[in-house]
Structure 1
Amino acid sequence: MHGSARKDGEHSTAEARQRALLWLRIVGSLALFGFLLGMMLGRLNEPEPRVLQRVDVLPDALQLWFNAEPKVRGEHRHGALVLQIDARGREQQGQVLVAGKAANWRLMRNEHGLLLNLLAARPVRGEWRGAPVDGGWRLNISLREE
Structure 2
Amino acid sequence: MHGSAGKDDGHSTPQADPRSKLFPRVMGSLALFGLMVGLMIGRLTTPDPSELQQIEVTDDGLVVWFNNEPKTHGEFVDGSLALLFDAQGRAQKGQLKLNDKSVNWRVLLSDEGLLLSVVAARPLQGEWAGREVDDRWRLEIHLREQ
Query: Which TM class, normalised by the smaller chain length?
Result: 0.7 to 0.9
Q: The residue matched to 1:109 in structure 2 has which SS?
A: strand
Specify the alignment match of 2:84 in structure 1: 84
What secondary structure sits across from 1:41 in the alignment?
helix
User: Would the alpha carbon gap of residues 124 and 15 (structure 1) be closer, same or farther in structure 2, given more than 3 Å must change?
Assistant: farther
Q: Show structure 1 runs of 5+ residues with no match.
A: 1-10
Q: Which residue of structure 2 lines up, in the alignment, with residue 139 of structure 1?
A: 139
Deviation at 1:97, TM superposition (A): 1.5
Instruction: Give distance in 2, aligned partners of 1:37 and 1:82.
Output: 42
Q: Which amino acid aligns with 1:50?
A: S
Q: Deviations over 1:35-66 (max 9, x none)?
A: 23211210011122222211101232101112
Where do 1:48-63 residues align within 5 Å? 48-63=48-63
Return the offset for 1:133. Answer: 1.9
Aligned-partner Cα distance in 2 for 1:25–1:106: 58
Correspondence for 1:4: none
Q: Distance in 2 between matches of 1:40 and 1:134?
A: 29
Amino acid at match of 2:58: L
| TM-score with structure 2 setting the length | 0.74
Residues 1:24 and 1:112: Cα distance change in structure 2 (over 3 Å): farther
Alignment partner, residue 97 of structure 1? 97
Question: Greater share of helix residues, 1 or 2?
Answer: 1
Query: Equivalents in 1 of 2:28, 2:110: separation in Å?
Result: 38
SS at 1:131 equivalent: strand
Following superposition of structure 1 onto structure 2, how do residues 38-57 of structure 1 map, counting pairs within 5 Å? 38-57=38-57
Q: Over aligned residue pairs, what C-alpha RMSD do you find? A: 2.6
Moved more, 22-31 or 131-140: 22-31
User: Which one-letter code corresponds to 2:45 in the other structure?
Assistant: N
Gaps of 5+ in 2: 1-12
TM-score normalised to structure 1 length: 0.74
The residue type paired with residue 84 of structure 2 is Q
